Amino acid sequence: MKTLDDLIAEGVAGRRVLVRADLNVPLDGETITDDGRIRAALPTLQALTGAGAKVVVAAHLGRPKGAPEPRYSLAPVARRLGELLGADVALATDVVGESARATVAGLADGGVALLENVRFEARETSKDEAERSALADEYAALADAFVSDGFGVVHRKQASVYDVAAKLPAYAGGLVLAEVDVLKQLTGEPARPYVVVLGGSKVSDKLAVIESLLPKVDAILVGGGMCFTFLAAEGLGVGDSLLEAEMIDTCKRLLADNPGKVLLPADVVIADEFSADASTHTVLAANIREGWKGLDIGPITVERYSEVIAGAGTVFWNGPMGVFELAPFAEGTRGVAQAIVDSPAYSVVGGGDSAAAVRQLGLPEDGFSHISTGGGASLEYLEGKQLPGVAVLGA
């Protein structure tokens, strides 16, 4: 697999380099609420501009339906990227059309252009390989080389991630290399005990990774909405909490087949409504009231989970412990995250909401060994799946 360093060693001054980055940041209107993914893209972009390349960045934002939607424009991202780079970033008003061609043609050596949201093009995510290939040809016409640096999308077989790598000399960016190296550590011989902290809404979303990890880890600490299906599997009432009734038997099997390995909340924070102004109580997991819903793990659980984390050699965390975006339900996530920071373990935050929680709750990012930019990609790698966007680079 050729790398960014290889490309720069070959010489990039005056050459057009297409970089697939992951700039899918959360927005409040046009305000970026977490620029972590933009910051993560900077080292690769700066290495290329510093070497005199004409850098063309491709990225997506949100989930538009294959056509332009103003709320998903990358304009706010272009502005923030320009601020962080200390230079103007030209934004094309289309993906591969007249504006894209003109914007790229106008680039000076060391300049940066951003194509409009690639998912404004229906062919980007098409299941039809011929359609994706045709779009990839148009991407390739804009550049002389391709750098894959959007780890958050390498598990997708999409035109700007996978197909274009077959059309241009392709290289792995520094971010993709770092992410894969970290995941290799987790799937190789991780320091023991190996503890996984899993949150999120649904057991069904995490079932594959749970089943893959259980034979390999020493403990899985469960939080988030998914914990209530596990509690129901233990015969407890969960009130109006999130529940996947069709997954209860599966959870029963997982608990029975792995005695003592799957830890569940001993207490939870319940509320009468999903609101920052809701009435709340902390109750034992066995005492969730009818008509109330669990929205966070409680302090007893935080203490128990923290004790397990404190003795760990490796910790992988994916998914918040509660609805951390609302203050009354943030303390479970904060407490468990702080325990990971305080632990001497090699610790990996599996991207997505977990990475957002670290920044929103004001936790020190350098308190973790690694904060991934790709939650879905991390989970699929840990499941043992091939990541198309990495495989195509020759990995």
CB of 233 within 8 A of CB of 248? yes
Enumerate the active-site residues.
37, 202, 352, 376
State the pLDDT at residue 108.
Answer: 97
- pLDDT at residue number 234: 96
Round to whole Å and give the CA distance between 293 and 42. Answer: 41
State which fold the 192-344 domain adopts: Rossmann fold (3.40.50)
d(CA 147, CA 180): 15
Can you give the pLDDT at residue 353?
85
Task: Report the C-alpha gap between 47 and 389 in whole angstroms.
Answer: 21
* Dist CA 171 CA 33 (whole Å): 31
- Predicted confidence at residue 356, as pLDDT, reads 86
The continuous run of DSSP H or E covering 391 comes out as helix 388-391
Residues making up the binding site for (2R)-3-phosphoglycerate? 37, 119, 156
User: What is the mean pLDDT for each group of 10 consecutive residues in the chain (395 residues)?
Assistant: 96 98 93 92 97 98 95 97 97 98 98 98 97 98 98 95 97 94 92 96 89 94 96 96 96 96 98 94 96 97 98 96 95 97 96 85 93 87 91 84
From residue 200, give the alpha-carbon distance in Å to each of 170, 223, 391: 35, 7, 28
pLDDT value of position 395 = 52
pTM of structure: 0.88
Given this model, what pLDDT does residue 375 score? Answer: 82
In the CATH scheme, what is the homologous superfamily, with its name and number, of domain 4-179?
A: Phosphoglycerate kinase, N-terminal domain (3.40.50.1260)
**CA 169 – CA 99 distance, rounded (Å):** 24
User: What would the pLDDT profile of 310-323 be if each residue is shown by its tens digit?
Assistant: 999 999 999 999 99
- Domain limits, the chain: 4-179, 192-344
Quick: pLDDT tens for 349-374. 987 788 889 988 999 999 999 998 88
Residue 53: per-residue pLDDT: 98
End-to-end CA distance of the chain: 5
- Predicted confidence at residue 156, as pLDDT, reads 93
Residue ranges for the known binding site for substrate are: 22-24, 37, 60-63, 119, 156
User: Do 192-344 and 4-179 have the same topology in CATH?
Assistant: yes
